[in-house]
Amino acid sequence: MSDHDKNDHSGQDRRGFLKCMAWAGTGAVFTVSGGIASSVSLGQAMAAPAKAGSFTFMQVSDSHVGFNKPANPDAAATYREAVGKILALPQKPDFIIHTGDITQLSKDQEFDDADQIIKAAGLQVFHVPGEHDMLDEGQGKAYLDRFGQGTKGAGWYSFDHKGVHFIALINVANLKPGGMGSLGADQIEWLEKDLAGRPSSQPIVVFAHIPLWTVYADWGWGTDDAAQALGYLKRFGSVTVLNGHIHQLTQKVEGNIVFHTARSTAFPQPVGGQGPSPGPLKVPTEQLHSMLGITTATFVRGSQPIALIDSTLAA
Amino acid sequence: MFKTLKAGALALALLPGCALALEWSSAAVAQAAAPAGPTVKIDNFVFGPQAITVSVGTTVTWINQDDIPHTVVANDKSFKSKVLDTDEHFSFTFTKPGEYGYFCSLHPHMTGKVIVKAG
Ligand SMILES: [Cu+2]
């Protein structure tokens, strides 16, 4: 696995971007690093981080606890299965990142159920809200009451872990008519300060719900003011941007920034523009699990881009 | 639920001799859309009709027919629904003439307009 990383990374000084989208078949694992995909087994992948300072963390996304429509009559059950996959990993990850849409309708019961499910993993969880987590009367107050401790504004924060700087951004608050995701001037100003003075050699991981690059504008799959935020990240040698929202894998590399969206644990959505709307995609029941999944991110010290491995809930 | 009925009606329409079942379907649909007055349907992440013209005093009702929740929020915040889950609706009575742009605060690329004419 780490061999793949090194090989792939040698081609990374190429400017412009690479875009790829792939579906892993039943039981297969999809590896991406530097924009090049290769299939390895999850066992192989997890055997990698033996080196000192190396670590693994998980990304789960769009659990939509409370969703019970035809595309998945029990989103809580598939979220539980996703947590089961994490528990079954041969090596324990350091923590979990949840990239939003924890709940379907921001109901207390949904937040409670989601908490109970993820707690079973026995790991620390770092959250950002999706637009579905902002639907209470207080427009995000319910989320902040649970997860907002020590955060700023609508809930943004950053932390360091084993030399890697993690930044949680909120792009689902105060959305403007006709627009897409939005970070807002206050958050961008905070980001500039948060990054100032950090060495460009420090690996950065940014996570937010809506993609920080425009995947498909007609469906609002992008963030209006992301360019300014990304401008502050350009000087860093290794930046990994993890998003959710679109319930499918997408990947793009621009300079030293790797953009990646994770599968949902609840229901798939169509590829941008392929269908009448970005609504839940109803697939035959036996196919559902191969379209839901989790992402394993492995940081190996000295080998630049963080290796992202997407695995499905099938098999 | 609405979607399922609609799909059911469509499938039945292709078969001969199913007029009765078809009628039952439309009745159920009509029942779901309770309030009188003009309605704007939210279907496939689109407000339809996208622009609607009414006279002062008219109550407009929005119905969400998607499997995903939406909201109806005036650009100037003069009206604002709570979150509308599948089949839920929101009504607002327009008492002043003018043009009211609105959007879905979850999916802000969804926009619509109500034009209110005097008397
Ligand atoms: Cu919406």
* Residue B31: per-residue pLDDT: 41
In a domain, A76, yes or no: yes
Domain of B29 in residue numbering reads as 1-34
The residues, ordered by sequence, that sit 6+ positions from B24 with a Cβ below 8 Å of its Cβ are none
Residues of chain B with pLDDT under 70: 1-35
Judgement on whether residues B62 and B27 belong to the same structural domain of the protein: no
CA–CA dist A109, B42 (Å, integer):
26
Judgement on whether residues B23 and B80 belong to the same structural domain of the protein: no
DSSP B1: -
Domain of A239 in residue numbering reads as 14-312
Q: Report the candidate in A288, A309, A251 with the shortest Cα–Cα distance to residue A58.
A: A309
In a domain, A164, yes or no: yes
Judgement on whether residues B5 and B26 belong to the same structural domain of the protein: yes
Judgement on whether residues B19 and B50 belong to the same structural domain of the protein: no
CA–CA dist A185, A172 (Å, integer):
14
Judgement on whether residues B46 and B63 belong to the same structural domain of the protein: yes
Judgement on whether residues B41 and B3 belong to the same structural domain of the protein: no
- Give the CATH number for residue A22: 3.60.21.10
Phi and psi dihedrals of A8, rounded to 5? -65, -35
- Give the CATH number for residue B113: 2.60.40.420
In this prediction the pTM is 0.82
Q: How far is A291 from chain B (nearest CA, A)?
A: 18
Interface test with A, best of B76, B86, B106 (most A CBs within 10 A): B106
pLDDT digits (tens, 9 = 90+) for B11-40: 333 333 333 333 333 333 334 445 679 999
In a domain, A127, yes or no: yes
The count of domains in chain A is 1
Contacts of A176 in chain B (CB under 8 A): 108
Judgement on whether residues B50 and B69 belong to the same structural domain of the protein: yes
In a domain, A4, yes or no: no
Are the beta carbons of B108 and A175 separated by less than 8 Å? Answer: yes
Judgement on whether residues B44 and B89 belong to the same structural domain of the protein: yes
Minimum CA–CA partner of B43 in chain A: A277
The count of domains in chain B is 2
Judgement on whether residues B25 and B40 belong to the same structural domain of the protein: no
Complex ipTM = 0.81
In a domain, A308, yes or no: yes
For each of chain A's 315 residues, which pLDDT tens digit applies? 333 332 333 333 222 222 222 222 222 333 333 333 344 445 555 555 456 778 999 999 999 999 999 999 999 999 999 999 999 999 899 999 999 999 999 999 999 999 999 999 999 999 999 999 999 999 999 999 999 999 999 999 999 999 999 999 999 999 999 999 999 999 999 999 999 999 999 999 999 999 999 999 999 999 999 999 999 999 999 999 999 999 999 999 999 999 999 999 999 999 999 999 999 999 999 999 999 999 999 998 876 689 999 999 996
Are the beta carbons of A176 and B85 separated by less than 8 Å? Answer: no
In a domain, A206, yes or no: yes
Judgement on whether residues B14 and B29 belong to the same structural domain of the protein: yes
In a domain, A3, yes or no: no
Judgement on whether residues B99 and B43 belong to the same structural domain of the protein: yes
In a domain, A62, yes or no: yes
Q: Sheet harboring A157-161: ordered strands across?
A: A17-20, A250-254, A257-261, A239-243, A204-207, A164-168, A157-161
* A245 close to A221: Cβ distance less than 8 angstroms: yes
Judgement on whether residues B85 and B53 belong to the same structural domain of the protein: yes
